[in-house]
Amino acid sequence: MLLLLALTLAYAPQVLAFPFSQRVGDVTVHAERPIDARIVDELARAETLLRSSPIYSGPVRRSLFLTNGGWRWRVLALQSPHAFAFRRPFGSALVVNRSDIAADRVTTDRDIGNTRTLSGVIAHETTHIMIADHLGELRAALLPTWVAEGYADHVAAESSLTDAEAGRLRRTDPHAPALAYHDARHRVATVLANNGGSVDALFAQR
């Protein structure tokens, strides 16, 4: 029963009774608060970012769960409480931490690197779905973390750290997760610049 409950929460977050929902194109948005009309613009910006990727093959049907970073987030993100968002393997549900549609912002409880745009986070997590569609879930799961996360941030065109913040953090906490994502994005950009923009060649990196 516990396993069934865990699987249900992992792949059907709607069982936690998100009180508000809205369909926007291929995305069903579920939220803890009334859904600001600006979600349409933010999903459009995310779609523009996704279209820049060579592996984009059309709009991705998915569910977006926007939390307030409270009990719903804590229940759903047991293994990644400090993340901005997550998507489970083989799933199309994107669960987002403390979301502010009006400000196009997602925040976490990290001390440094704790803010990103909501549209960028949506693009990042949707890129993981596109990678899985392109390679298959199993091959996607075997990608080095720097490739998978760095490419998702490359498509999202942002990190949670500026270069200056990354430099300061490198001196005080060189193993910080935010720094790993920042460095992965830059590494991916370098590989793509050197290989003529071939995403498949990037995915062959080890």
Distances (CA, A) of 38 to 96, 103, 166: 16, 9, 31
pTM reported for the whole predicted model = 0.94
d(CA 98, CA 82): 10
Residues 6+ apart with CB under 8 A from 164: none
Task: Pull the structure tokens for residue 46.
Answer: 């995310």
Question: Which of 105, 202, 96 shows the shortest CA–CA distance to 148?
Answer: 202
Q: Which amino acid would we find at residue 27?
A: V
- The gap from C-alpha 52 to its chain's centroid, in whole angstroms, comes to 16
Distances (CA, A) of 126 to 64, 88, 105, 114: 10, 11, 17, 20
Q: Which amino acid would we find at residue 40?
A: V
Per DSSP, the three-state class of 89 is coil
Question: Which of 98, 107, 58 shows the shortest CA–CA distance to 76?
Answer: 98
The answer to whether the CB of 72 falls within 8 A of the CB of 18 is: yes
- Phi first, then psi: what are they for 30, rounded to 5°? -115, 140
Q: What is the pLDDT of residue 8?
A: 63
Q: What is the pLDDT of residue 6?
A: 59
> Which stretches in the chain have pLDDT values below 50?
2
Q: What is the pLDDT of residue 77?
A: 92
Question: Which of 184, 87, 72 shows the shortest CA–CA distance to 129?
Answer: 87
Task: Pull the structure tokens for residue 96.
Answer: 């987002």
Beta pairing partners, 198: none
The answer to whether the CB of 74 falls within 8 A of the CB of 82 is: no
